[in-house]
Amino acid sequence: MNGIPISHILFVSTALFFIGMYGMFTRRNMITMLMAIELILNSVNINFVVFNKYLWPGKMDGIFFTIFIITIAAAEAAVAIAIIINLYRSHKSIDVEDAAEMKY
């Protein structure tokens, strides 16, 4: 594992970040968008772990942060999905473009 330079891993996390971003911008299904956000969060997780492991191995700050992010992401997803389900009841669709009544 030490053989892998930090830049490679950061490249992965950055890629993940932008993939998530891309997904967020382009997917119209709300659940997919949620997943895209999870990708972003995961890229952050990788960042934290990597920084902790490679740069600041003295303390476990990064690792802890990651664990909290994972937990909170789960909570967030739960609420989000609940909301999406409720939205589906009224809109009969989970296409994000269909839920754009309020504007301007």
Partner 1 sequence: MNYSSYIALIPLLPLAGFVLLGLFGKKYFKTFSGTIGIFLLLASTVLALYTAYQYFFINGKVNDVYQSIIPVKYTWLQFSSGTSIDMGIILDPISVMMMVVVTFVSLMVHIFSLGYMKSEERFGTYYSFLSLFTFSMLGLVVASNIFQIYIFWELVGVSSYLLIGFYYDRPSAVAASKKAFVVTRFADLGFLIGILILAFEGGTLDFNTLIQRLTDTQSSQFISITTASFLGVSVLTWALTLVFIGGAGKSAMFPLHIWLPDAMEGPTPVSALIHAATMVVAGVYLVARLFPVFSINESSLHIVTWVGMFSALLAAIIACTQTDIKRVLAFSTMSQIGYMMFALGVAHKNGETGLGYTASMFHLFTHAFFKSLLFLCAGAIIHLVHSNEMQDMGGLRKFMPVTHLTFLIACLAIAGIPPFAGFFSKEEILLATYHANKIVYVIALFTSGLTAFYMFRLYFSIFWNKPKELHGHPHEGTFSMKFPLIILATGTMVAGFIPFGHYVSSDGKILETPFHLNFSIAPVLFALTGILLALWMYKKESNRPHRVASALGGLYHSAYKKFYMDEIYLFITKKIIFNLVGRPANWIDKNIVDGTMNGIAYSTAKISGWIKGIQSGKVQGYALYFFSGIILLVIVVLYLWK
Partner 2 sequence: MWNDYLQLMKSEWMVIIVIFILLFLKLGKKERNTESLLHFINVLLFINLASGFIYHRDGSLFGDMFHSNSLLAFEKNVLSLGTLIISMQSFHWLKNHKHILEFYILLLSTLLGMFFMLSSNNLLMFYLGLELSTIPLAALANFDLEKRVSSEAAMKLILSSAFSSGLLLFGISMLYGSTGTLNYLELSQQLTGTPLQILSFVMFAAGFGFKISAVPFHLWTADVYEGSPVAVTSYLSVISKGAILFVFVSVLYQVFHHMALAWYNLIFIISVLTMTIGNLFALRQQNMKRFLAFSSISQVGFILIGITGQSAAGSASVIYFVLIYVFSNLGAFGVVSLVSALTGKETVNDYKGFYKNNRVLSWVLAISLFSLAGIPPTAGFFGKFFLLLAGAGTTHQSGGQINYLLIVIAALNMVISLYYYLRIIRAMFMDSTEQPIEKIKSSFSPNLSFIICIAGILITGIASGAYNYIYSLVK
CA angle 21, 46, 82 (to 5 degrees): 55
Tokens 């589906």, residue? 88
Site for partner 1 in 15-44 (CB under 8 A): 21, 24-26, 28, 33
Binding mask 18-57 for partner 2 (x = CB under 8 A): --x---x-----x--xx--x--xx-xx--xx-xxx--xx-
Q: What is each CA distance from 56 to 25, 51, 68, 70, in whole angstroms?
A: 34, 6, 19, 21
90 is a site residue for partner 1 (CB under 8 A): no
Cβ within 8 Å of residue 14, ≥6 positions away = 43
Residues interacting with partner 2, by CB under 8 A?
Answer: 17, 20, 24, 30, 33-34, 37, 40-41, 43-44, 47-48, 50-52, 55-56, 58-59, 61-62, 64-65, 68-69, 72, 75-76, 79-80, 82-84, 86-87, 89-91, 96, 99-104
